[in-house]
């Protein structure tokens, strides 16, 4: 379980498996490019997780 004080609400909401439009809206609302940067980083980790284990 993600602790809300460690991550933004947008990141914590991912555990609820929201649809792609909700994910885009939540991360876009973070402001500037920080939300998009975070989302891209998460996607990169998931795509390359098999290399890390």
What pLDDT, in 10s, does the model give residues 7-44?
788 888 888 899 989 988 988 888 777 788 888 888 89
Spatial contact of 13 and 42, defined as CB atoms under 8 Å apart: no
Is this model's pTM higher than 0.75 or not?
A: no
Spatial contact of 33 and 6, defined as CB atoms under 8 Å apart: no
Question: Buried b vs exposed e over 5-22: b needs ≥16 C-beta within 10 Å?
Answer: eeeeebbbbbeeeeeeee
Spatial contact of 25 and 39, defined as CB atoms under 8 Å apart: no
Spatial contact of 27 and 38, defined as CB atoms under 8 Å apart: yes
């Amino acid at each position: 379980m993600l602790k809300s004080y460690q991550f933004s609400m947008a990141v914590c909401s991912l555990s609820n498996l929201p649809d792609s439009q909700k994910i885009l809206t939540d991360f876009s609302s973070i402001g500037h490019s920080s939300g998009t940067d975070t989302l891209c980083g998460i996607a990169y980790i998931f795509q390359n997780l098999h290399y890390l284990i």
